[in-house]
Structure 1
């Protein structure tokens, strides 16, 4: 009976999904106006769907072109044609899609588009052309898309961008130009993008950034120049980026921290600068970045020294990430001192064998990560053991000594670490007492050795004192008034009369 009911339910579900005009392998919902045809082996856009559909997903099929089929679906708001075999898009293919807001054409084989390709898309806000074969962006290419807010042109073969290629994109907020063949930043095309807030130009073939490289992008908040091959950054390369909040310079070829260049970015909050060639973070490395809240230095293969005061200008730092820097064995004492807002310290996958308590103030720290370091668990880490137990900061595994290998520091005791006493204050008291006892012992030894001289000195002192006492007793006698009158009477001394003045 149960199997019979299950068969009926499956049949009903099959009938519902296979509504009239819904191709095999697709799911068509006439209540939500959504059609899903993912991996359905379609080679053309179906024309038998409900004309009222609003969301059409045709990803991962074998469709080679966009034809007149879209004219039947004038209420579409979302179309996904990604991961197909599109080679071209005929002019006016989207002429009737005035309500369309998102169009995804990524992962196809498009090699060219023109200023009439997207004609009719008056409401389009997102256009995704990532992972195609585009080589050039011509003048006014997107001028018919006045409401476009996000344009993804990453992972193409673009090597040339006309100065007026982005003309008309007054609402554009996000632009991806990463992973192309650009050998310089397309500075001349930026003044037309006054509303741009996010720019990705990494994974290109830059070697340097000239002065005013991003001229005209005064509202830019996020800038990604990672993996761009940068060797040199001019002193004023970032001039004019008065609102920049996030900067990614990771995976370039910078030999030192571009301190002067970064100092223009007074409002920067998030900096990623790992996978470069610098070996040292000098004192004041990030001078001028007074609003910096997070810094990520991951995979800097040559980094081995962080000087005291490296972050002295960055009092608002909340998160420091130092991960997978294989030559980094030690932090200079006080390297992270003076950061009152530091809450997260990530030190994974470095070469730390120990960690000094004096590198920073631990009062406000909420998270400390030290995993995957060759930690030597000895008494020098007693402070860390106490911090772990009191604040639940991190899980540290010991590498050495052999008897503690792979054990968690959290599970150990002071005796396991080779400490005589678990309380540092108790150690200090005992050391003081031992020092005092040692001093008394030395004094006792000296007194015993020179006891004869001490005895004679004391004897002379007492004899002299008694002699002085006898003389004082003889010469310093005092008399009472009665004795004085008696004595004067016996010698018939006439009293002297007293008169008042």
Structure 2
């Protein structure tokens, strides 16, 4: 279909356009491209029903004064790259068919309670790259169909108890690259359907004041946890009773210490398939005991890279009398490249024949 420029007329789908937009119509409905239209407020923007509306890069700094002067009730609304600072209560009331709302790359520092009331069909909410310092417990009230929430690249320092309670359908939560120092023990209460959690690039410390015991207890469905690029000082050990509730976890990306040790608290990760240590890696050596807690876990992929202090790797579980599933027996992909391993220090070479399932191997030796 051809695009056309429309101003001040009604379409068959009851969209009223009072500003310049490119219009396209297909089987899904009417799509409006209203980027770069120079409007500073959502008042006077297109209203009615449509398939999508793109209002990005438009200099919008104020939400609508009332639902009646609001937005097209589309399935996808893009308000990214604007100048929005505060999202007020009931700002999006009436947008009952909206499934994706993009508010990323604005200047949002405050979201009032019940801002998103009425968005009964919303599946994806993008709030990344803003200036949020806190998120109150009732901000996401009513979003029981939401499956993806992006809060990455903000200024959050604490995730308080019950922040996400009520988001019973949420599957993906992105909290990457904030300044999170503390997770309260009930921070993830109610997220029974969550499968992916990204906490990478924050200021979490591997101790109970930052990661309290059983902080992930509610995440019974979690399959992927990204918690790397935290714990910048590299001091301590993995805190007890933090990861042992994650029985469904398949991928774990995590920071490390000089003498890394995955102990008893990791023994419950029976579903774990991928272990990644590729950011803020402080491992000085890998020993047999390093993986004690994962001894009966059938890991398929181990990735330990960018460890500037890793000079030596010892043999991993080669005890002939050990009846448990050896780590080496399941591994299909092994990556220990981009470290400082010496040519005569790779004890792993001596046991590579035990990696019966190995499909790919990356080793980089330093002379």
Distance 1:236 1:116 in 2: 35
Distance 1:104 1:259 in 2: 39
**Counterpart of 1:199 in 2: which secondary structure?**
strand
Distance 2:351 2:244 in 1: 29
User: Which of 259, 265, 268 in structure 1 is aligned with 2:269?
Assistant: 265
Distance 2:261 2:92 in 1: 47
Deviates more, 1:201-210 or 1:143-152: 201-210
User: Which of 160, 177, 180 in structure 2 is aligned with 1:179?
Assistant: 177
Distance 1:322 1:182 in 2: 30
**Contact 2:84-2:107 at 8 Å conserved across structures:** yes
Partner of 2:225: 223
Partner of 1:283: 288
Distance 2:84 2:312 in 1: 52
How far is 1:339 from its partner?
Answer: 1.1
Partner of 2:241: 236
Aligned residue pairs total 336
Distance 2:45 2:112 in 1: 29
Partner of 2:322: none
**Contact 1:96-1:120 at 8 Å conserved across structures:** yes
**Counterpart of 2:32 in 1: which secondary structure?**
strand
TM-score by length of 1: 0.62
Change beyond 3 A, Cα 1:192–1:284: same
Change beyond 3 A, Cα 1:295–1:205: same
Matched, 1:155 2:157: no
**Counterpart of 2:105 in 1: which secondary structure?**
coil
User: Which of 323, 336, 340 in structure 1 is aligned with 2:337?
Assistant: 323
Higher strand fraction (1 or 2)? 2
**Counterpart of 1:27 in 2: which secondary structure?**
strand
User: Which of 34, 39, 50 in structure 2 is aligned with 1:53?
Assistant: 50
TM-score by length of 2: 0.83
1:309-348 counterparts in 2 under 5 A?
A: 309=316, 312-330=326-344, 331-332=346-347, 333-347=349-363
How far is 1:227 from its partner?
Answer: 0.8
RMSD, aligned CA: 2.6
Higher helix fraction (1 or 2)? 1
User: Which of 76, 82, 85 in structure 2 is aligned with 1:84?
Assistant: 82
How far is 1:129 from its partner?
Answer: 0.9
Greater relative contact order (CA < 8 Å, ≥ 6 in sequence)? 2
Distance 2:223 2:59 in 1: 39
Distance 1:33 1:46 in 2: 20
Deviations 1:330-357, CA, capped at 9 Å, x for gaps = 522424231111001123xx3345xxxx
**Contact 2:258-2:285 at 8 Å conserved across structures:** no
Matched, 1:212 2:214: yes
**Counterpart of 1:187 in 2: which secondary structure?**
coil
Distance 1:37 1:74 in 2: 12
Distance 2:342 2:120 in 1: 54
Distance 2:162 2:193 in 1: 16
**Counterpart of 2:243 in 1: which secondary structure?**
coil
Partner of 1:112: 110
Matched, 1:27 2:25: no
**Counterpart of 2:6 in 1: which secondary structure?**
coil
1:42-441 counterparts in 2 under 5 A?
A: 42-45=39-42, 47=44, 49=46, 51-68=48-65, 71=68, 73=71, 75-210=73-208, 211-229=213-231, 231=235, 232-249=237-254, 252=255, 254-260=257-263, 261-274=265-278, 275-283=280-288, 285-286=290-291, 287-288=294-295, 290-309=297-316, 312-330=326-344, 331-332=346-347, 333-347=349-363, 350-352=364-366
Distance 2:303 2:217 in 1: 26
**Contact 1:154-1:178 at 8 Å conserved across structures:** yes
Distance 1:28 1:198 in 2: 36
**Contact 1:87-1:110 at 8 Å conserved across structures:** yes
Distance 1:336 1:262 in 2: 24
Q: What are the ranges of 5 or more consecutive residues in structure 2 without an aligned counterpart?
A: 9-16, 319-325
Q: What are the ranges of 5 or more consecutive residues in structure 1 without an aligned counterpart?
A: 1-11, 354-501
**Contact 1:268-1:289 at 8 Å conserved across structures:** no
How far is 1:237 from its partner?
Answer: 2.3
Change beyond 3 A, Cα 1:298–1:39: farther
How far is 1:68 from its partner?
Answer: 4.6
Change beyond 3 A, Cα 1:163–1:305: same
